Structure 1
Amino acid sequence: MESGKRNFTVLGSETEFDGVLEFTDDLKISGKFNGSINAQGNLEIDKAAVCSVDKMSANSIIISGTVTGDIEASERVEMCAGSKVKGNVTTARLRIADNVDFEGQVTMLDKEPEVDLFSVASDEFKQSLILKSDIDN
């Protein structure tokens, strides 16, 4: 277990949230979410959750429910059995279980960026990334 204690927040199954969600600890969504997520912590999408996002960004994202929209995780994305994902995924590590309904493109980060994702402008961040496709060409 990590030495630093992290807060774990749950948006319950009866919760419906529309808007921009930002957090630094860990969050589990069990209800409905519409909008965008810009996080430094870890995100879990529960089996019953339905998320429609412009963009979902976090350190790691575990999906057991339904997500529509682009997903970006600096560390990893995991799609669990029975999940439905429609959108493009950008991450350093990806795991897709059997029985996942996935529609979209995947961009693998060659390594985690050296810069803090949340302290730089998006253009500056894009310049700092080394994409596998650039190396292979």
Structure 2
Amino acid sequence: MFSAKDKSSNVQYDTLISSKTEITGDIHFSGGLHVDGVIKGNLMADAGSSAVVRVSNKGRVEGQIHAPNIIINGPVIGDIHAGEYIELAKDAQVTGDVYYQMMEMVLGASVNGQLKHQATEAPVKKGKAAQTVLLDKVD
């Protein structure tokens, strides 16, 4: 099984928000998004993408984050929805709820909100009808 560090080292970040940039408004993206600046708006990955958001210790997000793969090492004010995994590094400061399937949280990271584990859904076929079964991942 891959850890968040294994996955993040192979990511190509297509978009960089530099430390000298402040954006007000929602951002829709696919691919890799690295944030060193300030974003006052929601970050939303395209549905079905394997997008990665990385907020460095220089960056800040004031809004919700919706993406399959998320790495936080700075302040985020808003709920975070990680479809696959989230890594909260030592300088992560989250003010909001964190919805996740797999999580890595390093000593020093803080969350002022709730951690809410989300079950994965997998279709199961029986006869002619398909059913949805909830699976809890335990790592």
Q: TM-score range by the shorter chain?
A: 0.7 to 0.9
Could you tell me which of 94, 106, 109 is aligned with 1:97? 106
Which residue does 1:21 correspond to in 2?
A: 27
1:7 offset after TM fit, Å?
Answer: 5.6
The whole-number CA distance in structure 1 between the counterparts of 2:20 and 2:14 is: 18
The whole-number CA distance in structure 1 between the counterparts of 2:122 and 2:27 is: 24
Q: Percent identity?
A: 24
The whole-number CA distance in structure 2 between the counterparts of 1:76 and 1:97 is: 14
Q: Which runs of 4+ in 1 moved over 4 A?
A: 128-132
CA RMSD of aligned residues (A): 2.5
Q: Choose between structure 1 and 2: higher helix proportion.
A: 1
1:56 aligned onto 2:62: no
After TM superposition, the score normalised by the length of structure 2 is 0.74
The whole-number CA distance in structure 2 between the counterparts of 1:11 and 1:100 is: 22
Deviation per CA, 1:71-119: give whole Å up to 9, x if none: 00110111001221111011111111001121111111222x459xxxx
The whole-number CA distance in structure 1 between the counterparts of 2:76 and 2:44 is: 15
Larger radius of gyration: 2
Could you tell me which of 52, 67, 72 is aligned with 2:81? 72
The whole-number CA distance in structure 2 between the counterparts of 1:64 and 1:84 is: 8
Preserved CA contact (<8 Å) 2:122 2:134: no
Structure 1: gaps spanning 5 or more residues: 116-127, 133-137
Aligned AA (1:18): T
Structure 2: gaps spanning 5 or more residues: 1-6, 124-131
Deviation per CA, 1:33-73: give whole Å up to 9, x if none: 101111141100011111110x2101111001110100001
- SS of residue paired to 1:57: strand
Preserved CA contact (<8 Å) 1:74 1:91: yes
